[in-house]
Amino acid sequence: TISSLFCSGSRSSKTFKPKKNIPEGSHQYELLKHAEATLGSGNLRMAVMLPEGEDLNEWVAVNTVDFFNQINMLYGTITDFCTEESCPVMSAGPKYEYHWADGTNIKKPIKCSAPKYIDYLMTWVQDQLDDETLFPSKIGVPFPKNFMSVAKTILKRLFRVYAHIYHQHFDPVIQLQEEAHLNTSFKHFIFFVQEFNLIDRRELAPLQELIEKLTSKDR
């Protein structure tokens, strides 16, 4: 499965933030196991589909946690290359620059280095995932009405970390032999957000060519 891909080799097990665990024995844990089993079959289009009879919010929640963990791991492997000096702005190629705002602590978007931006971003995502009112882990606790819009914002922001890695740090990814992991993880992510229409096409523009290349084989 993809998750076990990342654990092979001690170098790859470095995470940027603590891993977010889904409690064993919970329904969400069962869903995660289902996702891993279908991923193992190699058909990513099938793997992202909502399992029969399941709640869409719950499926999106489980996968969002999983993508956070994957990106956490991938970025963790290249943090030595992503520094204040190498990446004074958070960008995805020359045409795309991101400024950070979370709407609560930082209301007006600030320009900051990529490592600082990604630290803000991952800490913010972590806080959302840890919020039981947003991401309930207990069975029978309903998801809030605004859950889908929060999930969309999380995924939109996680995409930016992929975009930064691809545009600014692809050489170290190749040196570390992480290219296959990165491509598989990103392809899974893209199929997922496409299946449920979770990220606006304009937001995906920095990696549009890559997305077309990765997804064209699986039409």
On whether 188 is known to bind a ligand per the annotation, the reply is no
Burial (0-12, 13-18, 19+ Cβ within 10 Å), 170: middle
Task: Indicate the length of the chain as a whole number.
Answer: 219
DSSP state of 11: G
Nearest alpha-carbon partner for 162 in 176, 183, 178, 180 = 183
On whether 7 is known to bind a ligand per the annotation, the reply is no
Give the torsion sign (CA, 181, 49, 193, 212).
positive
Nearest alpha-carbon partner for 27 in 143, 191, 123, 152 = 143
CA distance 208 to 48: 20
On whether 87 is known to bind a ligand per the annotation, the reply is yes
Neighbouring residues of 160: CB distance < 8 A, sequence distance ≥ 6:
90, 92, 98, 121
On whether 164 is known to bind a ligand per the annotation, the reply is yes
Nearest alpha-carbon partner for 185 in 209, 212, 162 = 162
User: Would you list which residues are annotated within the binding site?
Assistant: 82, 87, 164, 169
* Residue ranges at the known binding site for Zn(2+): 82, 87, 164, 169
